[in-house]
Amino acid sequence: MTDHVDTPVPPTKQKRDRTHWLYLAVIVAVLAGVAVGLLAPGVGKSVGVLGTMFVSLIKMMIVPVIFCTIVLGIGKVRAAATVGKVGGLAFVYFMAMSTVALAIGLVVGNLLSPGTGLNLSATSSKGSQLAEQAHEAGGLMEFVQHIIPTSLLSSLTEGNVLQALFIALLVGFALLSMGSAGEGILRGIESVQKLVFKVLSMILWLAPIGAFGAIANVVGQTGWSAVTQLLTLMLGFYVTCVLFVFGVLGVLLRAVAGVSIFRLVRYLAREYLLIFATSSSESALPRLIAKMEHLGVEKTTVGVVVPTGYSFNLDGTAIYLTMASLFVADAMGKPLALAEQISLLVFMIVASKGAAGVSGAGLATLAGGLQSHRPDLLDGVGLIVGIDRFMSEARAVTNFSGNAVATLLVGAWTRTVDRDQVDRVLAGGDPFNESTMVDDHGSRAEEPVQAKVPARA
């Protein structure tokens, strides 16, 4: 009997986590890309395809990740009302935070007036081109109609996130209504999810190559002169995003969920680095889903809030559209009246829904909104093109942070979050499994601890 008490259990030898080398390599690759872009701009432009290819590989995995996550999240709940409650709360929260982000952007943009005195005559040809891109999608009814795919399988092959979301909801509720008859299908989808995350973890080892190509291309095209010309706008935007994340979101997260925004940011540090390297929040979407589940939020809540938030919770994009519009108006010497600001920017927020992760979507929405409300300002969009890539990183990080916080908040409101697990994970007591990227709360039992009573034979 005493053997169980006095004899320590031999530590289980675990696989060493080598992924920290990957993210150190990403940092080195970004610095190397900046150097190549400055010293050899031609070479920098030529290797830009590496960044494009890496982001394409990530986007290739988005639809299967979303499909598996939502189907499993809905299919495993006992009551369909839970999904409706989660979705309803999430949508109301998304609309409220978009309004707050709009207001903050308006205040900062009016205070800074960074575009005053700039000459935009040399960049007058780009605006109309971007506006045409923005209007290709049509109006509201065309947007809604496009959510319905041509077939059940086409939603999984065409790469349309909203179509995949729609079909996943249908399949999830269908399996929910099947009861025990659908358990076999759910187990199969669970196995597919593990396979998808494994493939994704393999792709992420190419992140240094993708980061090098993307950064070298941007610096090679613009150089530092284009960036310094718009330094006030960039810094103002970055500072505004930081204040929004750590001020507005941080206070809300502490008040509702009792979680520190600083600890959450530290937990998601690798995802932030990946977003900065690729300038796309979509590249970290699968990891956010996996990490939120590991953090202790129920699969149902994660499966509804995170994918939906990537289409409807675009706090960073809202701030960007606000400040960029005021910048263009000031730079053209035609400032917007308050009523015009509100009308234009409400339009832009509605128009940007569903565009998360699409390259140039923010810029196209900006041009489309200006053409609809103030066509005389359209030509001023051209100057934004030179630095949009740099601003898109802060935009993507803010969008990502907003969705991470939203998941915890909705989880707290619907009582679908394990607070003990949140504290344990954020304190470092239950590290995320980087090798599988699948929620593995049971990994704590495998840690080399001294057991008093054997947990199992």
pLDDT digits (tens, 9 = 90+) for 206-252: 878 887 887 787 677 766 654 455 577 778 888 899 999 999 999 99
Mean pLDDT of 177-186: 83
Tell whether the model's pLDDT for residue 136 goes beyond 60.
no
Q: Is residue 450 scored above 50 in pLDDT?
A: no
Which of 358 and 330 is assigned the larger pLDDT? Answer: 330
Mean pLDDT over 431-453 rounds to 50
What's the whole-number mean pLDDT along residues 78-107? 78
pTM metric for this prediction: 0.64
According to the 3-state scheme, what is the secondary structure of 245-292? Answer: HHHHHHHHHHHHHCCCHHHHHHHCHHHHHHHHHHCCHHHHHHHHHHHH
In sequence order, what are the residues at sequence separation of 6 or more whose Cβ sits closer than 8 angstroms to the Cβ of residue 450? 8, 9
DSSP 18-54: -HHHHHHHHHHHHHHHHHHHHH-HHHHHHTHHHHHHH
Confidence of residue 120 (pLDDT cuts 50, 70, 90): very low
CATH fold of the domain at 26-434: Proton glutamate symport protein (1.10.3860)
For the chain, the structural domain boundaries read: 26-434
What is the average per-residue pLDDT within 245-270? 93
Decide if pLDDT at 282 tops 70.
yes
pLDDT band at residue 84 using 50, 70 and 90 as cut-offs:
confident
pLDDT at position 350 is 60
In the chain, pLDDT over 70 holds for what percent of residues? 69
Low-confidence winner among 104-108, 175-179, 188-192, 446-450 (lowest mean pLDDT): 446-450
Measuring CA to CA, how many Å separate 70 from each of 76, 166, 202, 358, 447?
A: 10, 10, 23, 21, 30
Residues forming a β-bridge with 417: 297
